[in-house]
Amino acid sequence: MWSPARKRNLVVVSGTEKAMQGVADTLREFWAHRPVRPRAGRKLGGVATGIALRYRIDPVIARIAFVALALSGGVGLPMYLAGWLLLPEEGDEVSPLESLIGKGTGSASPAKTVLLGFLMFPALAFTFGSGGGFEIVVTIAAAVAGVYLLQKNRGHLQPAALAEPAPVPPVPGAPAWDPLGAAPFAWDLPEPAPAPQPPAPRRRRSRVGLLTVGVALLVAAGSVIAGAWVPWFTVAHTVGLLLAVLAAGLLAGSFAGGGRGLVWLLIPLSVVGFGLTAIDFDGDPTRLSNVEETPKTVTDVRERYEASVGSVKLDLRELPDAGEVKTAIEVELGEVVVHVPKNADVTYRCEASSLGELDCLGKRAEGSRVDVGGKDLGENGEGGLEIDLDVRSSVGEVRVLRD
């Protein structure tokens, strides 16, 4: 005869197995009725718009979610590419990847599909090579929980583009005249009263959201207190713990109902977490500012210009026509603009170490971890003022202009 403790354990195991089976069933339903990327109304590949149409949500919300995921260590980049490869386009039988391996026909060319597949490698390298392993895993878990929530709570809805039923064509051979024409007195017959509907059961409000927020506040308070003795509890790690709590709350809410509002805490907190990992706020507080200088002599040019958040604008066009200048500029988050004289010989290196846009003396690049460089002799060829520039930005825009 089983003891009460063993019976409780069996109940727990059985409940866990049922829950896992429910998750698996929901994910299978998602794949069987996955979103379709529309041809109209999309901004890039139609992934966000397709998800919005499938689950009848505002497309802006879906796009904001991908932007927030992209800011969270770059997670949104491979996820969007995966959606582009695995979700079929409107009018296609299968997705681009399935079409490439012969599982059906699709409109995407093999070259485009292969290119998307190649782009997945640098996207994954950027995401998992940025050093925020814990935060990245938590963000991925939150994204999967969000997809699960959508499928579980809105998977039964018909896609917005297909919501209106098509008109029923007339049956061949059926009379086109009104049968009541033979009995005019029947026109005034009252319509039968609709059967009374039972009142809808009142939905019980879930406390998952409030409980999750409470746990998150306790974690934040505990991390602040523990940080006085344990160096590990930095602000970035505390934000990572809060992201984990919110993700767990979303997952719990998918079973118990409720907790959807947590996503509005998860998105801004992910942006904050990205800022804390991508930007170095240590050091001189004056680095959080804008720097604008127009040196008149070679000695006026500093060896280094720095800013954590802000911009550095350096105008070298007032320098004399001879001499040597060497300087480095580094901005964590913001803009760098350098103006050089028309006739100066410029050796330059421009880099965006995380995400940015470069336009350096005609050479352009944009994306994650991009750099350009070279030597430009100006309009009069070699000779005259020599300038050596080393310009770096973590996230932002870098421009070196000759005008």
Q: Is 295 helix (H, G, I), strand (E, B) or coil?
A: coil
Cite the beta strand spans of 260-323 per DSSP E: 290-293, 304-315
Question: 132-142 burial by CB neighbour count: b if 16+ within 10 A, else e?
Answer: beebbbbbbbb
Cα 259–248–70 angle (5° rounding)? 90
CA distance 83 to 114: 14
* Closest CA relative to residue 260, chosen from 82, 45, 55, 49: 55
Please give the pLDDT value at position 180.
45
- Point out which residues pair with 372 in neighbouring strands: 350
* Closest CA relative to residue 95, chosen from 125, 117, 78, 74: 117
Q: Is 2 helix (H, G, I), strand (E, B) or coil?
A: coil
pLDDT per residue as tens, the chain (403 positions): 555 555 555 444 455 566 566 667 777 888 888 899 998 877 788 898 898 888 888 887 788 778 777 776 678 888 888 888 999 999 888 898 888 888 888 888 888 888 888 787 777 777 766 555 666 777 787 788 888 888 888 888 888 754 444 455 555 554 544 444 444 444 455 555 555 666 555 555 667 778 888 888 888 888 888 777 777 677 777 877 787 787 777 666 655 666 667 767 776 776 676 555 555 444 444 445 678 999 999 999 999 998 877 789 999 999 999 999 999 999 887 889 999 999 899 999 999 887 788 999 999 998 778 899 999 988 888 888 999 999 998 888 899 999 7
Strands 290-293 and 370-376: unpaired
Cα 224–279–225 angle (5° rounding)? 5
Please give the pLDDT value at position 387.
95
Global pTM? 0.42
Q: Torsions phi, psi of 29, nearest 5?
A: -65, -40
CA distance 96 to 116: 10
The residue assigned the tokens 């805490």 is 265
CA distance 151 to 248: 17
Provide the angle, in degrees to the nearest 10, between the axes of the packed helices 110-128 and 133-154: 130
Six-digit token string for 395: 């996230």
CA distance 257 to 153: 9
Please give the pLDDT value at position 181.
45
Please give the pLDDT value at position 146.
80
Six-digit token string for 50: 């397709």
CA distance 87 to 31: 9
From the CA atom positions of the chain, what is the Rg in Å? 30
Q: Which residues contact 256 (CB under 8 A, 6 or more apart)?
A: 206, 208
* Closest CA relative to residue 76, chosen from 147, 143, 151: 143
Q: Is 163 helix (H, G, I), strand (E, B) or coil?
A: coil
Cite the beta strand spans of 222-368 per DSSP E: 290-293, 304-315, 324-340, 345-360, 363-367
Beta carbons within 10 angstroms of residue 312's beta carbon: 23
CA distance 352 to 346: 19
The Cβ-side half-sphere exposure at 296, using a 13 Å CA radius, reads: 0
The residue assigned the tokens 């004289």 is 341
Cα torsion 322, 328, 332, 336 to 10°: value is 10
